[in-house]
């Protein structure tokens, strides 16, 4: 019998802990001189997701919705006229747990963003995985704007069970019309994971969306309407072929969806929000079949946005 060689597990190095400590210290100092400080808290649930614990394709079976809790907690601020910052934790059915922190420099017509991401407690084998994020926005105020941003985990090769990578990308093109901000966007979110010794799974959500954010001066509420196309895909690749992603089997659910979100300012410093999004038509990519006709797919969320006293 050949001896079994145990693979050494990657563990978060000093730099993985240095990032959040540095940003925490910076944000604490920045908050004291901030011209504005806003706290946003959201919670919700959705069932347009695959079972995160599944290690084999559905094949010829039907898509089975899995209810997944959603959460978001974020703090953002601005100071010195041209510098803004933000930090947030988010729980998402594709990306799982995700912590972000970053700075942005505003040069009137151009805004540059840079920051870091952490992927904490997404697998038992790897409790923390750091990464980087960046973005660029061009804006002609009141006329048109465009944004490109992305993020990725750094230095991960999916070499041991539990190793994982988070990746995001987004492109937005928008314009203003009276009392409405309209935008077209493309976004993607990917979570790749070595699932055991023999399988690499890759969850991917791709969206093409049109949004209209309706507002009016001196009116305490706004309405955001979304519509678009989404592809939710989970791939299963034998670990021996991971570098080329050959011999891959996949389940994929495609949907045309509609959504709406409203905010209402109940007092000067406090707004509440609520939103819902539902596919109006969904179909599976063969061999996976669409969910049964009586299946209700949904995403709902609610929360509060609080401008902290003394920071307006």
51-78 pLDDT per residue, tens: 888 888 987 889 999 999 999 999 999 8
φ and ψ of 112, to 5 deg: -115, 130
- Distance between CA atoms of 60 and 294, rounded to whole angstroms? 19
- For the beta carbon of residue 141, count every other beta carbon within 10 angstroms: 9
Ordered by where they begin, the domains of the chain are: 47-307 (2.40.160)
Nearest-10 Cα torsion for 91, 20, 156, 164: -20
Nearest to 117 by CA among 12, 11, 19, 191: 19
Contact of 285 with 252, CB cutoff 8 Å? yes
The pLDDT of 20-45, averaged and rounded, is 67
Is residue 236 predicted with pLDDT exceeding 90? Answer: yes
Instruction: Provide the pLDDT for residue 35.
Output: 61
- Distance between CA atoms of 120 and 91, rounded to whole angstroms? 11
Is residue 24 predicted with pLDDT exceeding 70? Answer: no
Tokens encoding 114: 């840079």
Instruction: Provide the pLDDT for residue 159.
Output: 85
Run of H or E including 195: strand 180-195
The pLDDT of 195-202, averaged and rounded, is 88
- Distance between CA atoms of 57 and 291, rounded to whole angstroms? 15
Query: Using 50, 70 and 90 to split pLDDT, how confident is the model at 273?
Result: very high
Tokens encoding 67: 């209810």
Per-residue model confidence as pLDDT tens digits over 131-141? 999 999 999 99
Average pLDDT, the chain: 87
Quote the pTM value: 0.85
- Distance between CA atoms of 129 and 117, rounded to whole angstroms? 8
- Distance between CA atoms of 77 and 132, rounded to whole angstroms? 20
């Amino acid at each position: 019998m050949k001896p079994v060689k145990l693979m050494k597990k990657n563990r978060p190095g000093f730099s993985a802990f240095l990032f959040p400590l540095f940003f925490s210290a910076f944000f604490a100092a920045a908050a004291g001189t901030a011209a504005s400080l806003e706290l946003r808290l959201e919670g919700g649930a959705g069932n347009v997701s695959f079972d995160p614990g599944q290690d084999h394709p559905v094949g010829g079976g039907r898509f089975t919705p899995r209810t997944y809790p959603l959460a978001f907690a974020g703090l953002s601020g601005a100071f010195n006229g041209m510098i803004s910052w933000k930090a947030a934790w988010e729980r998402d059915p594709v990306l799982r747990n995700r912590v972000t922190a970053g700075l942005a420099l505003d040069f009137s017509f151009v805004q540059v963003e840079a920051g870091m991401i952490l992927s904490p407690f997404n697998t038992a084998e790897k409790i923390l995985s750091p990464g980087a994020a960046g973005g660029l926005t061009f804006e002609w105020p009141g006329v048109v704007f465009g944004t490109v941003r992305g993020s990725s985990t750094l230095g991960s090769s999916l070499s041991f069970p539990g190793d994982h990578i988070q990746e995001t990308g987004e492109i937005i093109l928008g314009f203003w019309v009276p009392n409405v901000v309209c935008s077209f966007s493309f976004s993607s979110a990917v979570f790749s994971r070595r699932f055991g010794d023999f399988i690499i799974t890759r969850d991917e959500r791709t969206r093409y969306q049109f949004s209209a954010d309706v507002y009016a001066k001196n009116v305490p509420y706004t309405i955001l309407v979304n519509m678009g196309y989404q592809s939710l895909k989970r791939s299963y690749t034998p670990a021996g072929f991971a570098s080329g992603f050959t011999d891959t089997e996949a389940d994929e659910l495609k949907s045309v969806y509609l959504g709406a979100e409203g905010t209402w300012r109940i007092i000067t410093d406090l707004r509440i929000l609520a939103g819902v999004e539902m596919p109006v038509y969904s179909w599976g990519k063969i061999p996976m079949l669409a969910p049964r006709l009586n299946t209700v797919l949904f995403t709902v969320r609610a929360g509060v946005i609080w401008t902290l006293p003394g920071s307006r």
